[in-house]
Amino acid sequence: MASDTWLIAGLGNPGSRYRHTRHNIGHMVLDELVDRMDAKYTRTKVGAQVVAARLGLGGPKVVLAVSEGYMNTSGKPIRGLVDYFDVDPARLVVVHDEVDLDFGRIKLKRGGSEGGHNGLKSITQHLRGDRDYIRVRVGVSRPPGRMETADYVLQKFSPDQADELPQLVQRAADAVELIITEGLTGAQNTVHQA
């Protein structure tokens, strides 16, 4: 029987070159959650940095994780953490950028397709096709004109978006906490009406 631990994974790319890009919003949200816990990441043997803690005093056990590798290899370290912490994939929450949502919108869902997102594809592949994990989809909008999606998500946010980014990151972190404390349906009822 799997443990009652939640694994929260924020997707992104390593290094300062990518730190403030659209593709790294998952890392930004995890950094916000780690700050709220007044904790620091530790490195693991599976290629991820983690914080293992409780959400609030006596609250649920959570493992916050960011991969040390690139987006398209996210699945291997996440699978390693799922195995190590004995996490049911239904208690895996993945925070990622979503071009099919306007900037500032957040949508929560369980399962479904990967929608061309290479990080999600890698996770599903390493979970042997299991798509039953929860996604926190953070809207970054579609690229303008004929710009390639890959080029767009690897760019920094526009000045207007950068001004609103701290609030978006906080709201996405709130959504993660709601999923853990209220369940997915309760979190959806709150987040989708905002």
Annotated binding site for tRNA: 18, 70, 72, 118
Q: Exposed, middle or buried by CB within 10 Å (0-12, 13-18, 19+), for 52?
A: middle
| Given the residues 20, 23, 117, 126, the one annotated as active site | 23
Active-site residue 126, yes or no? no
State the virtual CA torsion across 90, 57, 187, 132 in degrees, nearest 10.
Answer: -10
Which two tokens mark 151?
């080029």
User: Rounded distance, CA 85 to CA 93, Å?
Assistant: 14
Contact 158, 152 (CB under 8 A): no
Positions marked catalytic: 23
